[in-house]
Amino acid sequence: MTSTQLPSDDDVRRALSAVKDPEIGKPITDLGMVKDVRIDADGTVTVGIYLTVAGCPMKDRLTRDTTEAVQRLGVPDVRVELDVMSDEQRTELRRKLRGDVKDPLIPFAQPGSLTRVYCVASGKGGVGKSSVTVNLAVAMAQRGLSVGVVDADIYGHSIPRMLGTSEKPTKVDDMIMPPQAHDVKVISIGMFTPGNTPVVWRGPMLHRALQQFLADVFWGDLDVLLLDLPPGTGDIAISVAQLIPNAEILVVTTPQQAAAEVAERAGAIALQTRQRVAGVIENMSWLETEDGQRIEVFGSGGGQRVADSLSKSVGAEVPLLGQVPLDPRLRENGDNGTPIVLANPDAPAAQVLRTAAEKLSVRARGLAGMMLNVTPAGR
């Protein structure tokens, strides 16, 4: 490049407007993250970038994205110098992102919120709630939706592992930036406790923790938020209903009659809390042998039974959204952090989960008594 072709300061800033902060999802030029731009006579461009916090886990990616964006101007060399925002700058950023409110509000509970919130609930433990949650989340993200997951199972948090992330959330001022895995934003209590230490939480603390997950985390504009609830009809389910009254319940059960009975009770909590039941997913429905036979390991009929009985008790159709077969790959994929809908998309279990995700993505909200916010499928 000759000196006559040097880009201007404006050229460089325009190029930088294509760089988004990976956690916030907005251009760094809008976030006050560009500290300065220097253009030397030999065409070398040096860009100063403010990180939101020291040791920001995204700094390598930011450096790379910035370098690539400026390289596109055809300059011979790009240098990125990192600095860290001051407290004042962070406060300014928080104001920019969510206004000057004192008490953080739960965005999903505000009138006009376009985010569909699903609480994944079950009666019994171990029926596959967390597995279903991560697969639905990833399948919805694949459909182009912006998706968040809250691991509200304070005692048994397993979501980060199933999504393959061990990243900690970043704090900017008093906002929490959720890590992302497979295009899904995820927050778990496990991210706030060192190592694998068990957490003893009591009711009010649970409520507070959940409120914090929902209010202090910067989720951006979500199409769907999935909450993985602990098994049973405990405190958390009631808290969710109080914090996000328009959250819908998604019931997971196995085909077993005993499991179905408890699942019905978990679903029936919707009657008391006046929440809508979005549907039922039956998991571990059968095991298919190589010659195509289905072994019904846990019996049959549980999912349909829960759907029928909840339809009757809530007085609105509660669909059986799918029957997910047993598949060792589903467990393996969960253990190694790539949900089966990504790792083995053609597996029957993956197909059922994808279809359920599709039904939950496209169905418009709004029964009597609910806001009629119709969100188009995809974006």
Ligand X SMILES: Nc1ncnc2c1ncn2[C@@H]1O[C@H](COP(=O)(O)OP(=O)(O)OP(=O)(O)O)[C@@H](O)[C@H]1O
Question: Given the rule CB under 5 A, which residues bind Mg ion?
Answer: 129-130, 153
Instruction: Verify binding: residue 302, ligand X, rule CB under 6 A.
Output: no
- The 8-class DSSP code of residue 316 comes to S
Number of residues that bind ligand X (CB under 6 A): 21
Question: Which residue in the set 283, 338, 344, 361 belongs to the binding site for ligand X (CB under 6 A)?
Answer: 283
- Decide which of Mg ion, ligand X, none touches 326; Cβ closer than 5 to 8 Å per partner kind: ligand X
Q: Which is nearer to Mg ion, 113 or 130 (CB)?
A: 130
- Which tokens hold the place of 338? 């790539």
Q: Among all residues, whose Cβ is closest to ligand X?
A: 125
CB 147 within 8 Å of CB 141: yes
CA distance 50 to 56: 10
Q: Which is nearer to ligand X, 52 or 338 (CB)?
A: 338
CB 252 within 8 Å of CB 234: no
Q: Per CB under 6 A, which of residues 333..352 are in contact with ligand X? A: 334, 349
Q: Which is nearer to ligand X, 251 or 270 (CB)?
A: 251
CB 81 within 8 Å of CB 49: yes
Strand partners, 80: 47
Instruction: Verify binding: residue 187, ligand X, rule CB under 6 A.
Output: no
- Which tokens hold the place of 351? 């197909």
Instruction: Verify binding: residue 327, ligand X, rule CB under 6 A.
Output: yes
Q: Per CB under 6 A, which of residues 223..252 are in contact with ligand X? A: 231
Instruction: Verify binding: residue 130, ligand X, rule CB under 6 A.
Output: yes
User: For the window 131-170, what string marks contact with ligand X as x by the rule CB under 6 A?
Assistant: x---------------------x--x-x------------
CA distances from 298 to 138, 205, 256, 308, 325 (A): 27, 36, 5, 19, 11
Q: Which is nearer to Mg ion, 153 or 223 (CB)?
A: 153
Instruction: Verify binding: residue 189, ligand X, rule CB under 6 A.
Output: no
CB 18 within 8 Å of CB 49: no
Tokens 């048994």 locate to 156
